[in-house]
Amino acid sequence: MQTNTALPTLKTLHHAPTPVARPELRDVSWSATGCAACARRETCFGGGLSDAEISQLRDAIGARRRIKRGEILWQTGDPLHALYAVRLGFLKSFIVTGDGQVQVTGFQMAGEVVGLDAIATGHHHSTVVALEDTEVCPLAFADLDRLMERVPALQRRFLRMMSDEIVREQESMALLGTMRAEQRLASFLLRLSSLYQKRGYSATEFILRMTREELGNYLGLKLETVSRLLSRLQQEGVIQVESKAVKLLDLDALRTLVAQQALDS
């Protein structure tokens, strides 16, 4: 069974953590809402499936599990047992480099499916930790082939998810490889805006679940640079920041800032 553990904060983690015993993921299936009525249906496994197909998917989904803030869903090198649809909460993935440095590789929110990175080798290539209390719905990978044979629409959905994963990787490479610091931050805020809007939330007001240090690590920026850029955008009337709460006041200005990359190249 998949297990998890508390993790040192990014600020104090300078090398790979010493493996420790991990408590079992808590089963919260007694309060579970079926896939058909789930608000995340269209953004996870069930996107585009009919009610009859959703019923077959629901039969294959395991008991919903809860991960507390700071606990690990899996660690680098763990075998792939299941793909997880994030129902509630926010996750962070990271790797520890050969010289012991932590590199944040992504953030995952409600409606996303995590675990796709392990399909090629059967083992996870990053560690995933909860940034807040999170609930996930597991689909055992061993059952996936049989389920896709019965539900061809699920196979098409799965291929789209894999394609989305490739696109995200390409966007991340462009973000870190060609954009200036302010463009990286603007692009990230616009990406979050789009993701929240697709999930029925406000596209202009949301909470940054990660710390500024984690955000800077992901964007390849120093903590001081992230704070300075947020302050500058606020002074220019583009955004409003209060602690972790962000309000996007001028989406067009953010888009123009990102588009400036094309003019500079």
Q: Going residue by residue through the chain, which has 265 residues, state the pLDDT in tens, using 9 for 90 and above.
A: 444 444 433 333 334 444 333 444 454 443 445 676 776 767 777 777 788 888 888 888 888 899 999 999 999 999 999 999 999 999 999 999 988 899 999 999 998 999 988 998 999 999 999 999 999 999 998 888 888 888 888 888 888 888 888 887 887 777 777 789 999 999 999 999 999 998 889 999 999 999 999 999 999 999 999 999 999 999 999 999 999 999 999 999 999 999 885 444 4
Please give the Cα distance from 101 to 247 (Å, whole number): 32
Please give the Cα distance from 82 to 151 (Å, whole number): 18
Residue 139, classed as helix, strand or coil, is strand
Look up the pTM and report it.
0.80
Report residue 160 CA to chain centroid gap. 17
Sign of the C-alpha dihedral computed for residues 199, 205, 210 and 212 taken in this order: positive
Q: Which two tokens stand for residue 163?
A: 């394609």
- Domains observed in the chain: 26-161 (2.60.120.10), 179-264 (1.10.10.10)
Backbone dihedral region for residue 212 (phi beyond 0: left; psi -120 to 50: alpha; all else: beta): alpha
Please give the Cα distance from 226 to 185 (Å, whole number): 8
Residue 97, classed as helix, strand or coil, is coil
By DSSP bridging, strand 90-96 and strand 102-109 are antiparallel
